Amino acid sequence: MPLLQPPPYKPKFPLQSGHIQTIFPRLFRKVSLPPVVKRRIETPDGDFLDIDWHLASSTRLAVIAHGLEGNSRRPYVLGMARALVLAGWDCITYNFRGCSHEMNKKSGMYHSGDTRDLHTVLKYGLDHGIYEDAALIGFSMGGNHVLKYLGEDPEKVPSKVKRAIGISVPCDLEKSAMRLCDKSNFIYSNYFLRSLRQKVKIKNNQFPDLYPLDKLSSIKNIVDFDNAYTAPINGFADAIDYYRQSSCKQFLSKIKIPSLILNAEDDPFLTPECYPVQEAEGSQFISLQIPKYGGHVGFADIPIEKQLWSESRAVRFLNT
């Protein structure tokens, strides 16, 4: 599909900065949306996933995937769920392994290329037999999950999945990881690493051979972490091999349902390689829109309590 024109979205000062867009909503946006149903579901490999089910008495289901070191109760996830419930969608938001209140039982945690749990949650919702249509929405790493899932094995995707949206997607994981290592992004890098280090310590109690603590002292950035833990635990040669196998960009041409990618021009996590212009132009199913503003999973405005531009855009795309 042709590259979509940038939208007229222009936030008020000071939200015309990518860094402020990225940080401001995380600090000051509050979204109250208690889940109607909280459930723990079993995975095919004998582990568990914690999900929140937000109900609108609908025959349409949206599954929402959060980003790196997020969870189902983050404001950006709840804001999207609230917008969709008000627009007539049931929503399931789920926690990646290791991101709920209890550490998972199996040795592995989530990673950028593992789409098995997304499929498990989607099938769990659809197997209830009440939904005629479904949609997938992913933020950042969750967006990579969604797009990779749709393209890596299109025949596996349930036929009820009609549309998908990826927001702030690092379509080229290698380039995005290198960008996170920049000095300008040290706040985000330190935030992620602090959380990941704590999880390694917990997993060390379960699997000391797989999660040795002596590696932690040498980790300075996300690439170091993926070299030390993510890659070897999940069968990759190293971090670069992990990024190249897990990036959704190589799978976009195989996607067979209408899918929208929203990547802001001022996103501090993304490099030019993360904006799949050629892939969108060569596909009849992929639409890429690049707003001038929005940061990484931002798209806010003042007052901060209002519905985000990305939430309104998602509703328009799913309901059209």
Residues annotated as catalytic (active site), given as ranges: 140, 267, 296
Write the DSSP symbol of residue 2. P
Separation CA 15–CA 230 (nearest Å):
34
Query: How do strand 286-289 and strand 48-54 relate by DSSP bridges?
Result: unpaired
* Per-residue tokens: 33: 């949306």
Q: How many CA atoms lie within 13 A of 305 on its CB side?
A: 1
* Per-residue tokens: 299: 């798209």
Whether the Cβ atoms of residue 302 and residue 12 lie closer than 8 Å to each other: yes
CA 319 to centroid of chain Cα atoms: 21
Max CA separation in the chain (angstroms): 53
Judge residue 133's burial from the number of C-beta atoms within 10 Å of its C-beta, 0-12 exposed, 13-18 middle, 19 or more buried.
middle
Mention every residue, 6+ apart, whose C-beta is less than 8 A from residue 165.
Answer: 135, 136, 137, 138, 143, 146, 259, 260, 261, 262, 314, 317, 318
Query: How do strand 90-94 and strand 48-54 relate by DSSP bridges?
Result: antiparallel
Q: Which of 157, 161, 151 is nearest to 247 (CA)?
A: 151
* Per-residue tokens: 89: 């969608």
Q: Which of 168, 130, 41 is nearest to 94 (CA)?
A: 41
